[in-house]
Amino acid sequence: MTSLYDERIAAVRGFNRFFTRHIGVLREGLLQSEFTLTELRILYELAHHGDQQPAALCRELGLDRGYLSRIVSKFEAAGLISKVDSATDGRAKLLRLTAHGRTVYEPLDRRSREEVGDMLARFDDTDQARLLDAMQTIRSLLDSQGGMKFAQPFVVRPHRPGDMAWITCRHGELYARQQGWDGSFETLVGQICEDFERHFDPALEHCWIAERAGERIGSIALARGDEEGVAKLRLLLVEEQARGFGLGSHLVDLCHQFARAAGYRKMRLWTTDQQKEARGIYQRKGYRLVAEDPVHAFGQDMVNETWELDL
């Protein structure tokens, strides 16, 4: 016997098929081009929002980094996009739509607007408003719950036995390969993990492990600070294959939520000027740089940085 819940699931799936069919009609003019819908969406982002970091495009469009890389290579070979230096990070590259790319894209964008306009023109003002209100209702409801669960390619759980050893090992391996740091960094991370486990207070501290398909792909921890009301953000790590999906940002948000619930008034973290991606996350979350200390550590010259956030 079909339950009411089953009927609702069927209704949503039926609407998806109906809406997809209509979207296909609207985009028929675009699909007559040589581009896939994903490729056109990338061109749209660059045309309407300017230069973009590849990681930001992955997050916005829900793309795998390798898939985006292949499309970028195709577009570069066709002269549609180019890579330019970031004004804020000398080691980062941004994707930019070339003049030729804009010439190719603009007629397709114009055709898409015309077809949507043709669809809306079939309705009077009242029905147009009803249609837009219904779209906004769907969007608001899904956004309020984080969207469809399969759009998030990871799950997050509390740490358990064996996780601290993995955190230590992966920090050492990743930073040796990416930054050229020596083994003293892994030793430091191991000491941080050991101290966290030895003095762990579940009411005031927490560690999260991110997994995808049962494989560990990220971590973060919140530990008590040396001052009353101050928490430390520690052990942020995202595996290379898991970047571009907003995982690092999500892990930092979890820390903030826990810290507020535990009564902390301030977050504090240590990083270096070499950890560009992590620093970008902290800046976007509102952290401010409060101290700098040039040092030679882990076999490299670098600047130790302390960042803080008022909760």
pLDDT value of residue 33: 66
Is the fold of 4-120 the same as that of 155-310?
no
pLDDT value of residue 24: 57
Question: In the predicted model, is pLDDT for residue 104 greater than 60?
Answer: yes
Mean of pLDDT values over 273-280: 90
Domain boundaries, the chain: 4-120, 155-310
Backbone angles phi, psi at 159, to 5 degrees: -70, 160
Mean of pLDDT values over 248-257: 92
Second CATH level (architecture) for the domain 155-310: 3-Layer(aba) Sandwich (3.40)
Q: Which positions ≥6 away from 195 have C-beta within 8 Å?
A: none
Beta strands 155-158 and 300-310 are unpaired
- Express each pLDDT in 118-176 by its tens digit: 888 888 989 988 888 888 888 777 766 555 444 456 788 999 999 999 999 999 999 99
- Express each pLDDT in 286-300 by its tens digit: 999 999 999 999 999
Domain 4-120 fold is: Arc Repressor Mutant, subunit A (1.10.10)
Give DSSP secondary structure letters for the chain. ---HHHHHHHHHHHHHHHHHHHHHHHTHHHHTSS--HHHHHHHHHHHHH-SB-HHHHHHHHT--HHHHHHHHHHHHHTTSEEEEE-SS-TT-EEEEE-HHHHHHHHHHHHHHHHHHHHHHTTS-HHHHHHHHHHHHHHHHHHHHTTS-GGGS--EEEE--TTHHHHHHHHHHHHHHHHH---HHHHHHHHHHHHHHHHT--TTT-EEEEEEETTEEEEEEEEEE-SSTTEEEEEEEEE-GGGTTSSHHHHHHHHHHHHHHHHT--EEEEEEETT-HHHHHHHHHTT-EEEEEEEEEETTEEEEEEEEEEE-
Beta strands 230-238 and 266-272 are parallel
Q: pLDDT tier at 61 (50, 70, 90 boundaries)?
A: confident
Question: In the predicted model, is pLDDT for residue 305 greater than 60?
Answer: yes
- Express each pLDDT in 223-248 by its tens digit: 999 899 999 999 999 988 787 777 89
- Express each pLDDT in 107-117 by its tens digit: 888 887 887 88
Mean of pLDDT values over 264-279: 93
Q: pTM here?
A: 0.54
Q: Give Cα 7 to chain centroid, integer Å.
A: 34
Question: In the predicted model, is pLDDT for residue 43 greater than 70?
Answer: yes
Question: Residue 221 corresponds to which tokens in the numbers above?
Answer: 């921890």
Q: pLDDT tier at 30 (50, 70, 90 boundaries)?
A: very low
Poorest-pLDDT segment among 46-50, 184-188, 216-220, 243-247: 243-247
